[in-house]
Amino acid sequence: MKPSATLAMTARANDRRQAGHPVIGLSAGEPDFDTPVEIAEAAIQAIRDGFTHYTDNAGILELREAICEKLLSDNNIEYDPSQILCSNGAKQSVAQAISVLCQAGDEVVIPAPYWVSYPEMVRFAGAIPVGIATDAESGYRITPEQLDAALTPNSRILILCSPSNPTGGVYSPDELRALADVLQRWPRVTVISDEIYELIMYDQTHLSMASIDGMLERTVTVNGFSKAYAMTGWRLGYMAAPSSIVKACSKLQSQFTSAPSSISQKAGVQALGMNKQPVRKMVQEFRKRRDFVLSKLSQIPDVHCPIPDGAFYVFPDISAYLGSSSRNGRKIVSSEDLCFYLLDDHDVALVPGAAFGGPSGIRISYAASMDNLTEAMSRIKTAFELLRVA
């Protein structure tokens, strides 16, 4: 397994910042907002009430019932609380689903660019990650023809992340139904649908894969609280899946970590039951930041970036600058070279696209203040202007 590229870049940026450099970090996928007050107050009350002990391994019934209500009302998917497993973040849910579904030699199909952890989780399970390359022109979304060509008798899982980390791309309902039509010819394949950015959407409609006819029994729906509710440090996510998968994942979790924090679970109940206005306000701010970053990227010659419909990332194509060099002679051969140049020479921390299986791009997180984005985009524009294309 390789270490997480996003965490590695964040650590390198922190080292440079501690050395006195004015680094602006746009590498972490973390909202810069505080957790809404009513969620925090629910957690504080749980502590005051002494709700600080182990819970049921799958999570408290109150939370699992609230998740079922949310999935039915928001996603048109019906589950029983016994089909819900609460974990220490959506990341754990994805990893456990891969581990219980795969055997050595199985293939897991992953559209690229992909979240950096997917292929490493697959390798940890002894399976083989199979990437499907996409590009900026397609909005970084696979076609049914690409999916059909990538599937083989050894295929066991398709991982879909919509809205996407790292691209912000969103599959339309029609696009998801077309992919589901392909999957009907491959009955052995289970979909892991990572919907952690579901509530951070702009001009597109979210559809859960499990709500499509014929897909409920073939889908593991993964979601959580980190992104939409600014609860990254609370470490709370969940999966909804057929009983056999949930039972297997629950067994694994019981040996690895047991249930997530009792306090976080009470906070999760409050999050699902509260008025969503704080979430909507965050999304409105993310939209403004997205539009600002896109406007600045459009001013850089030969940098192309599709408009993302969700999450808080852009993934511009910077391939025109590969093969360039800086005025001090620094060679830019890869997206990693470009990101280290931006960090070391211009004090902006981004993540190279190669880490996401998209070597022609870089990921910019706009989950940062407008002041920081303004300064960072100015530095990025200057950095590109100082590159000489060979």
- Distance (Å, whole) CA 362 – CA 338: 9
Total H helices, total E strands in the chain: 12, 14
> What is the per-residue pLDDT for 389?
66
Number of structural domains, the chain?
Answer: 2
- What tokens does 75 get? 């996603």
Q: Return the CATH number at 358.
A: 3.90.1150.10
Query: Strands (DSSP E) along the chain, which ranges?
Result: 24-25, 84-87, 107-112, 128-133, 155-161, 190-194, 219-224, 237-240, 313-314, 324-325, 331-332, 348-349, 351-352, 362-365
- Distance (Å, whole) CA 33 – CA 203: 22
> What is the per-residue pLDDT for 9?
79
Q: CA gyration radius for the chain? A: 21
Q: Do residues 227 and 209 share a domain?
A: yes
Task: Report yes or no: 63 and 229 within 8 Å, Cβ to Cβ.
Answer: no
Q: Return the CATH number at 216.
A: 3.40.640.10
Q: Do residues 236 and 379 share a domain?
A: no
End-to-end CA, the chain: 35
The residue from 224, 240, 273 where one domain ends is 273
> What is the per-residue pLDDT for 386?
93
The residue from 238, 273, 308 where one domain ends is 273
- What tokens does 378 get? 């100015």
For the chain, list residues with pLDDT below 50.
390
pTM above 0.85, yes or no: yes
Residue 390 forms part of a structural domain? no
β pairing state of 362-365 and 351-352: antiparallel
Residue 305 forms part of a structural domain? yes
The total number of residues shown for the chain amounts to: 390
Beta bridge partners of 240: 84, 221
Q: Do residues 259 and 302 share a domain?
A: no
- Phi, psi dihedral angles at 100 (to 5 degrees): -85, -20
The residue from 251, 273, 295 where one domain ends is 273
Residue 378 forms part of a structural domain? yes
> Residue 154 sits in which domain range?
37-273
